[in-house]
Amino acid sequence: MAERGKDGGSGGVPTTVRGAGGLVTLEGAVAVTVALVLIMRGLLGHDQSATSGYGTAAWFGILGGGVLAAGIGLLFGKRWGRAIAVIAQLLLLPVAWSLLTDSHQPVFGTLLAVVAVGALVLLFAPPSTRWMAEDYGVDPGATRE
């Protein structure tokens, strides 16, 4: 059995990937929770004339479920979760900006921006990119001639 380095080499999952997986899992769990709250509000008869609570719940449930699956995948060392996680973070950055500027929600905007940027930093950290390259048979230590 090969020794694993600090960055999780030789098949191990780096802590940067697991950290990003934790953040992405948290984002997905929040989105799924929002979907459940919206469904409960609709079932309890709250006014839905301005927005469709059920439609919004479906939106949050589907997208949040995908993000949640990607986060869990990263926690378990599944490389497919990284692509979904990166796209989700890039899409959340304009949402954070909107919360900061247009919606006047600086607390939520700042929190979302910190989590999204933190996840991106972890996903593109050197141990994370080396781990991703292993799947393609790339030796990041090799030099080109």
Residue 3 DSSP code? P
- The span from the first CA to the last CA of the chain, in angstroms, equals 31
Q: Which residue has the tokens 């992405």?
A: 24
Q: Which residue has the tokens 């995908």?
A: 66
Residue pLDDT tens, the chain, 145 long: 333 444 444 458 999 999 999 999 999 999 999 999 999 988 888 776 666 888 899 999 999 999 999 999 999 999 999 999 999 999 999 999 999 999 889 999 999 999 999 999 999 999 999 999 987 876 666 666 5
Q: What is the pLDDT of residue 50?
A: 61
**Do the beta carbons of residue 42 and residue 57 sit within 8 Å?**
yes
> What is the Cα–Cα distance from 121 to 9, expressed in whole angstroms?
19
Instruction: Name 88's Cβ contacts closer than 8 Å, sequence gap at least 6.
Output: 24, 27, 66, 67, 70
Q: What is the pLDDT of residue 81?
A: 96
> What is the Cα–Cα distance from 118 to 90, expressed in whole angstroms?
12
- At 29, give phi and psi (nearest 5°): -65, -40
Q: Which residue has the tokens 């079932």?
A: 43
